[in-house]
Chain A
């Protein structure tokens, strides 16, 4: 990535987000290059998830600009952001609990499906062809993430690690340009973390998907990420390669604390 000038996929400029008197994000700017894995780290309450919510359109920052694909993005609702090719997983799993794994993955295809209500009612001709075609794509993703065996299990009854994987599958089914992962490895054991790391790398390499992830496990972050952003109390603390960040005194202070 470093040899030629990388293409900037997304850039946030001077974001300020306040909830009443509480300042969640204060003048944060960083960019995400196309094809990289970008990590956002920071202590609890640093504003990492809020940052993702801003990118997603859940929160509308009071000040600041978001540039996506070289264009300034107007204030958008989450469903409009989804159309621009940004997918996301959540910190605390947000699967559709009443549906099976395959149905959950199929929901990721919603935007690509467009046959109208009359075809849907008949479930014949174009509607069923569309359904089959997207089902095939979903099965590929299910294969890729090795969750074939739970294809028809309601996701509510799955163990935590698998639920996280189904959530990743659902996000991948959207075939996003930019994939936001909010603590993909939270609450996992070592083996599950290894699996998840492998999937993240493979997604990045095989599909060329740009990934921005929030993670607390530093070993994972330092291994996976191409570049790291560090936030603390809503402010940008450091930005650079894992090595640079690791040796940054401000970051060490924020994580270990400094004597007052």
Chain B
């Protein structure tokens, strides 16, 4: 990097344990905050239609980052692989829908936290097999969750209030006098709500990961026998990872439906989405918060941009571009994974390491 830790001495452990011990990092985060809080809502993204930039790039990106964070906690930090992400996000979304329809006066934040908790409980239940099985067999067990839950989303009519379309749809709902969700809500309010949620959740996740509980997850991931010997109960560590991860995924699911799509059916929570989230985690980098950001942004934004460029610059029709972008994304994923199996986060780390010495690498 063009800056280093040289000369920045910490005289207290507390300072050293801070999230961003380096002064320059703090400036970087400050700039990012200004960008996301002021510049982007005012001007949108360069070269893109404002509505498109907010609705198809910024909001979904942030939702997917939360999703990826959730899955990364489970897969990257606790080492428990899951293909039920899509279904757990669905649990969050349906729970949120039930909460706001059963209690119309409920505060949105409370409903969001509650739906995350519901998802956490479901995650723990389907995480129980992880106590006995590992690796590929655990994938199969979580697949059962995926299929069972998507089945339930279609068959259990109570979940979508017996409406004819079978979809869940956000009613207009206010919080503190501002319409937050539903057809009449402004894109801007939804953007800010998702942004703040993302920041809060990232902060909480990074705290937990650096503390006792996060370490217990990593212990289980790296060497479960030694972890047990140090006094970690595998039951507690694994299930708490499932709970925490599903909490995030549930909140992301609720945000996805009510703050981005507006309405959704069971297809939004199917296995393809589980794979998509898995790609985001793997490409971003397992066990890294920065990686979750990079992976989600990369996997979501690249195809969207390819489609846009193809349509506006080269004049291909949308259908061709749709397929082309899928092919291109697939190729890029393969290339990245061959170049750096540990994902974009590691690539970023290596770049930083090289920049430390640049331009005199010897």
Q: Is B210 an interface residue (CB 8 A)?
A: yes
Chain B contacts for A30, CB-based, 8 A: none
Q: Which of A95, A121, A132 meets B17, CB within 8 Å?
A: A132
Bound-state CA distance A81–B232 (Å) is 11
Bound-state CA distance A132–B13 (Å) is 6
Question: Are A110 and B212 touching (Cβ within 8 A)?
Answer: yes
Q: Is A70 an interface residue (CB 8 A)?
A: no
Docked complex: B19-70 residues within 8 A CB-CB of A: none
Docked complex: A76-133 residues within 8 A CB-CB of B: 77-79, 81-83, 87-88, 90, 94-99, 103, 106-108, 110-111, 113, 115, 117, 120-123, 127-128, 130-132
Bound-state CA distance A127–B215 (Å) is 14
Question: Are A117 and B213 touching (Cβ within 8 A)?
Answer: yes
Q: Is B233 an interface residue (CB 8 A)?
A: yes
Q: Is B226 an interface residue (CB 8 A)?
A: yes
Question: Are B212 and A120 touching (Cβ within 8 A)?
Answer: yes
Number of interface residues of A (CB under 8 A): 40
Query: Which DSSP category, helix, strand, loop or mixed, fits chain A's interface?
Result: helix
Docked complex: A116-159 residues within 8 A CB-CB of B: 117, 120-123, 127-128, 130-132, 135-136, 139
Query: Provided the pairs A98-B221, A132-B17 are in contact, do residues A120 and B207 lie with their beta carbons within 8 angstroms?
Result: yes
Docked complex: A47-97 residues within 8 A CB-CB of B: 56, 58, 77-79, 81-83, 87-88, 90, 94-97
B245 to chain A, nearest CB (A): 14
**Residue of B whose beta carbon sits closest to that of A103:** B215
Q: Is B219 an interface residue (CB 8 A)?
A: yes
Chain A contacts for B207, CB-based, 8 A: 120-123, 127
Q: Is B216 an interface residue (CB 8 A)?
A: yes
Known: A87-B230, A103-B218. 12 other contacts (CB 8 A): A98-B287, A99-B215, A110-B231, A113-B212, A117-B208, A117-B240, A120-B208, A121-B204, A121-B208, A123-B210, A131-B13, A174-B231
Bound-state CA distance A117–B12 (Å) is 24
Which A residues are closer than 8 A to B by beta carbons? 56, 58, 77-79, 81-83, 87-88, 90, 94-99, 103, 106-108, 110-111, 113, 115, 117, 120-123, 127-128, 130-132, 135-136, 139, 170, 174
How many A-B contacts are there with CB distance less than 8 Å?
Answer: 102
Which B residues are closer than 8 A to A by beta carbons? 12-14, 17, 204, 207-208, 210-216, 218-219, 221-223, 225-234, 240, 287
Question: Are A88 and B218 touching (Cβ within 8 A)?
Answer: no
Chain B contacts for A113, CB-based, 8 A: 212
Question: Are A107 and B287 touching (Cβ within 8 A)?
Answer: no
A118 to chain B, nearest CB (A): 10
Q: Which of A87, A95, A111, A120 meets B213, CB within 8 Å?
A: A120
Chain B contacts for A122, CB-based, 8 A: 204, 207
Query: Can you offer 19 A-B residue contacts whose CB atoms are under 8 A?
Result: A79-B232, A79-B234, A94-B223, A94-B226, A96-B222, A98-B222, A99-B215, A103-B218, A108-B230, A110-B219, A110-B232, A113-B212, A121-B204, A121-B208, A123-B211, A131-B13, A132-B14, A135-B13, A170-B230
Question: Are A128 and B212 touching (Cβ within 8 A)?
Answer: no
B9 to chain A, nearest CB (A): 15
